Amino acid sequence: MKLSFAFMCVAAAMLAGCSRPVVRETVVERPVVVERAAAGATTPSCTYASQAYSHGSVSCQDRTQFRCDNGIWNRTMTAC
Q: Is 68 within a domain?
A: yes
Domain that holds residue 61: 44-80
pLDDT value of residue 32: 65
Q: Is 52 within a domain?
A: yes
Are 68 and 45 a contacting pair, CB within 8 Å?
yes
Q: Is 14 within a domain?
A: no
User: Is the pLDDT at 21 greater than 60, yes or no?
Assistant: yes
Buried b / exposed e over 7-43, threshold 16 CB at 10 Å, is eeeeeeeeeeeeeeeeeeeeeeeeeeeeeeeeeeeee
Q: Is 4 within a domain?
A: no
- If DSSP codes are grouped into helix, strand and coil, which group holds residue 35? coil
Q: Is 80 within a domain?
A: yes
Q: Are strands 58-61 and 51-53 parallel, antiparallel or unpaired?
A: unpaired
pLDDT tens digits, 24-78: 767 666 666 656 656 655 667 888 888 888 888 998 888 889 999 988 899 998 8
